[in-house]
Amino acid sequence: MKWIKRLILLTLLLFAAGVGGLYYASNGANGSVVHEASVEIDRPAFEVFPWLVEKDKLMQWISGLKEMTPETDMGLIVGARGKELMVLNGTRFELLTEITTLIPNKLLTIKLKSDGFKGDVAYILLENNGKTQLFYYGSFQYIPFYARLFEPLVTPSAKSRLQTELINLKHLIENS
């Protein structure tokens, strides 16, 4: 009987240590995370920009993007909102989007919101000698406590997926 109590106590201690470790690794479970990536594309900015705003092109390079539905009839302007259906690792979720800045061929910023997080992303295009340096900057805040707690486990794969998507985008543009 003593060994059962010890086993239960050990299990509880290991669980508490794991949660404590995640809490520490997540910086007190504040849930804030920044993603940055860039890629040089051997095409001028006017050839790159459509890949950031046109549905058929976005569906080709953003992994897990299954549907895009406009929520407003405004067209491509600041304030235009949409809904995206994403499926990542078997998990389905909706992402609400709103264009917050739009300078064609130079800058696109978008506000994102889902049940699990909210954030802002920016695509910055710098052209030089017919080549475009595309910079991605995303600032996110995980909303539920469990999501904030597990952020250190999720962030590395999200950053890796982002870099892979930008490389895929580069190949799609350069080969089109």
Are the C-beta atoms of 169 and 39 separated by less than 8 Å?
yes
Is the pLDDT reported for residue 11 higher than 70?
no
C-beta of residue 55 within 8 angstroms of C-beta of residue 68: yes
- Of 111 and 18, the one with more pLDDT: 111
For residues 86-101, one letter each, b for 16 or more C-beta atoms within 10 angstroms of the residue's C-beta and e for the rest, the string is: beeeeeeeebebbbee
CB atoms near residue 146 (< 10 Å): 12
**Fold of the 31-174 domain:** Alpha-D-Glucose-1,6-Bisphosphate; Chain A, domain 4 (3.30.530)
Total-model pTM: 0.80
Q: Delimit the domains of the chain by residue range.
A: 1-29, 31-174
Phi (first) and psi of residue 80, to 5 degrees:
-65, 135
Q: How many CB atoms lie within 10 A of CB 110?
A: 21
pLDDT at residue 104 in the model: 96
pLDDT of residue 29: 46
Residue predicted with more confidence, 45 or 5: 45
Segment 131-136 mean pLDDT: 97
Question: CB of 169 within 8 A of CB of 47?
Answer: no
Q: How confident is the model at residue 69 (pLDDT cuts 50, 70, 90)?
A: very high
Question: Does 22 score more than 50 pLDDT?
Answer: no
At 11, list the tokens: 């299990």
pLDDT for 28 = 47
Mean pLDDT, rounded, of the chain: 84
What tens digit of pLDDT does each residue of 100-129 get? 999 999 999 999 999 888 999 999 999 999
What is the side-by-side strand order in the sheet with 131-142? 32-41, 131-142, 117-128, 107-113, 91-103, 81-88, 65-70
